[in-house]
Amino acid sequence: MIRPSADKAQLEASLALARRAVELGKNDRDGLPWFQMALGMAEYRSGNYPAADDALREAVQISNDNRYVRLTASFYRAMSLFRQGKENESRALFTQTASTMKPLPIDEENPWGQSDERRPRCLDGLQGGESLLKI
């Protein structure tokens, strides 16, 4: 679940699916970072910020340097830290993560740059963090 939702059933279903994906994918070296990140995002959207922080930190650690997982998980983790009252740590992580990101495309006709479907997730985390942290 990437976008916020007030639908409790949808939040619970997303969380259950993400937990199951991590459980079933524990031996999938390439898929597990994505599953772990999805779990962190679902925990975040469900308001379970400490659990989100744990899952997102784990996603980054096992990301095999997958920049999409690393960037997106780090942005969501920054938002989770902020929600836990750790504003300084949150801002530091957000700023450090944003500094490693490729510049946003200038072409308004092609806002995602290359046709990589994963890039919007990174941007969603960036824009969500900017809004939440007032950056």
| Total residue length of the chain | 135
Reading the block at residue 66, the tokens are 């997958």
Amino acid at 110: N
Residue 78's pLDDT is: 94
Q: What is the pLDDT of residue 107?
A: 63
Q: Which residue has the higher pLDDT, 12 or 103?
A: 12
Q: pLDDT tens digits, residue range 19-70?
A: 999 999 999 999 999 999 999 999 999 999 999 999 999 999 999 889 889 9
CATH superfamily for 8-102+117-133 is Tetratricopeptide repeat domain (1.25.40.10)
pLDDT at 111: 57
pLDDT at 123: 55
More confident residue, 5 or 133: 5
Asked whether 1 and 20 are in contact (CB, 8 A), the reply is: no
Ordered by start, the domain boundaries in the chain are: 8-102+117-133
Please say if the pLDDT value at position 118 is more than 50: no
Q: Are 49 and 99 in contact (CB under 8 A)?
A: no
Looking at residue 117, what is its pLDDT?
A: 47
Closest to 120 measured CA to CA, from 51, 68, 47: 68
Q: Are 93 and 42 in contact (CB under 8 A)?
A: no
pLDDT at position 77 = 96
pLDDT tens-digit readout, 87-103: 999 999 999 998 887 76
The conformation of residue 29, written as its DSSP 8-state character, comes to T
